């Protein structure tokens, strides 16, 4: 079983418990988040990260946000819910699962607003737990849908971490690899270290090692050489937001990987739950891209490695055009050569 990236302890007065991912792989430590502010902070500083896991965390965050509520009317309850959701929405801009989960919590709140406060809060906790349980099932479904794409006896490459630590279960892109392994396929995974925060080196390498899947860590810049010389037959990555034409935002560097894959004739797969799609956006150009602290680049490891005063461009994500994507693996099935019609057909059909 994967380690529980996030879970809820207790009743509606309880707390969320997460893996403190900034300490991995050196230390596997669980921390409790007892307030909405602690959830916001944990999302912001990537103590919990990965689009699906951020969604679950935000849902629990709403429950925590109502812990101190003294709402005496449905209108006051609405206001408390809105305040909590708006606050959590300001933590990170790109992963749409965050907004999707908050929207579900808002809808749940609207349905229970007339109940006594204690019951309404309990209903919100149940909704958050349902989101978590659904994410578990979705991870498994992604694994089933994607596993046949893993080339038996060859190598694959992945970027960032789309594993168990990014979800409530065993991941999105990595779920495909874990499932293929369970089905007896043998393969090696080249893992981009994924600067600046090294989620590949710290998290993906660790998860694959735990699962007994042969893995080789590389610098991001070695991906081209590895694709040319090391028998890489497929690329698997996650996504943080997918527009309705299939353009997919994911960790910075994913776009470069997609260009390299295309140049080497290697199929590039995006693995993501339906909740990652933002059907309100026609294409990827409208996806907001978070820019993060320059110090992630200039002093990412506690030691300054660039001159003071240097200008830095540190986007957390980039957008891969759907034309570079061989297929999007969703829990509802495979969207091959994605475009608006095929996305709609699989998600809504």
Catalytic residue positions?
240
Residues 205, 25 contacting (CB under 8 angstroms): yes
Q: Does 302 bind a second copy (CB under 8 A)?
A: yes
Residue from 289, 290, 288, 280 nearest 243 by CA: 280
215 binds a second copy (CB under 8 A): yes
Token pair of 49 as six digits:
């990260």
Q: Are 241 and 278 in contact (CB under 8 A)?
A: yes
Residues 260-299, one symbol each (x = binds a second copy by CB under 8 A, - = not), give x-xx---------------------------------xx-
Q: CA geometry: angle at 104 spanning 321 and 145, to 5°?
A: 50
For residue 67, which of 29, 99, 38 has the smallest C-alpha distance?
38
Closest contact distance (angstroms) between CB of 284 and a second copy is 11
- Measuring CA to CA, which residue among 181, 173, 131 is closest to residue 151? 181
* CA pair distance 83, 88, nearest whole angstrom: 9
Please select the residue that binds a second copy; options are 306, 341, 345, 348, rule is CB under 8 A.
306
One symbol per residue from 62 to 91: x for binding a second copy (CB under 8 A), - otherwise; what is it? ------------------------------
Residue 183 or 219: which CB sits closer to a second copy?
219
Q: How many residues does the chain have?
A: 349
Q: Which range in 97-105, 114-122, 169-177, 248-256 contacts a second copy by CB under 8 A? A: 248-256
Instruction: Assess 228 for contact with a second copy (CB under 8 A).
Output: yes
Which one among 88, 131, 223, 343 touches a second copy, defined by CB under 8 A?
223
Q: Determine, following the binding rule CB under 8 A, whether residue 255 of this chain makes contact with a second copy.
A: yes
- Which residues in 145-184 contact a second copy (CB under 8 A)? 159
Of 64, 30, 302, which Cα lies nearest the Cα of 165?
A: 30
Q: Are 5 and 167 in contact (CB under 8 A)?
A: yes
* One residue of 193, 240, 278, 331 binding a second copy per CB under 8 A: 193
Q: CA–CA separation, 199 vs 196, rounded Å? A: 8
Q: According to the binding rule CB under 8 A, does residue 326 interact with a second copy?
A: no
Q: Which residues bind a second copy (CB under 8 A)?
A: 25-26, 159, 190, 192-196, 198, 201-202, 205-206, 209, 214-226, 228, 230, 252-253, 255-257, 259-260, 262-263, 297-298, 300-307, 309-315, 318
């Amino acid at each position: 079983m994967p380690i529980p990236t996030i879970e809820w302890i207790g009743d509606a007065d309880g707390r969320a418990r997460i893996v403190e991912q900034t300490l991995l792989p050196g230390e596997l430590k669980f921390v409790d988040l007892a307030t909405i502010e602690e959830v916001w902070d944990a999302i912001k500083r990537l103590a919990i990260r990965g689009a699906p896991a951020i969604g679950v965390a935000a849902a629990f965050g709403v429950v925590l946000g109502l812990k101190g509520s003294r709402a005496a009317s449905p209108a006051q309850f609405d206001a408390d819910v809105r305040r909590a959701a708006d606050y959590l929405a300001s933590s990170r801009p790109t992963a749409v699962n965050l907004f999707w989960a908050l929207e579900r919590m808002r809808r749940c709140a609207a349905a229970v607003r007339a109940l006594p406060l204690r019951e309404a809060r309990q209903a919100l906790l149940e909704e958050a737990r349902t989101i978590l349980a659904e994410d578990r099932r979705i991870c498994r479904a992604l694994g089933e849908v994607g596993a046949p794409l893993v080339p038996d006896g060859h190598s694959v490459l992945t970027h960032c971490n789309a594993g168990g630590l990014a979800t409530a279960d065993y991941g999105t892109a990595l779920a495909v690899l874990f499932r293929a392994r369970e089905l007896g396929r043998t393969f090696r995974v080249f893992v981009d270290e994924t600067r600046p925060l090294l989620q590949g080196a710290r998290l993906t390498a660790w998860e694959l090692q735990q699962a007994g899947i042969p893995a080789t860590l590389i610098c991001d810049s070695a991906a081209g050489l590895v694709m040319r010389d090391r028998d890489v037959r497929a690329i698997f990555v996650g996504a943080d937001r997918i527009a309705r034409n299939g353009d997919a935002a994911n960790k910075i560097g994913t776009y470069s990987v997609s260009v390299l894959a295309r140049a080497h004739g290697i199929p590039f797969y995006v693995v993501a739950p339906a909740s990652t799609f933002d059907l309100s956006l026609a294409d990827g150009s409208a996806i907001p891209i978070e820019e993060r602290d320059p110090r992630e680049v200039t002093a990412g490891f506690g030691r300054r490695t660039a001159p003071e005063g240097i200008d830095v461009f540190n986007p957390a994500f980039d957008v891969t055009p759907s034309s570079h994507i061989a297929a999007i693996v969703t829990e509802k099935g495979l969207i091959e050569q994605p475009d608006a019609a095929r996305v709609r057909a699989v998600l809504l059909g």
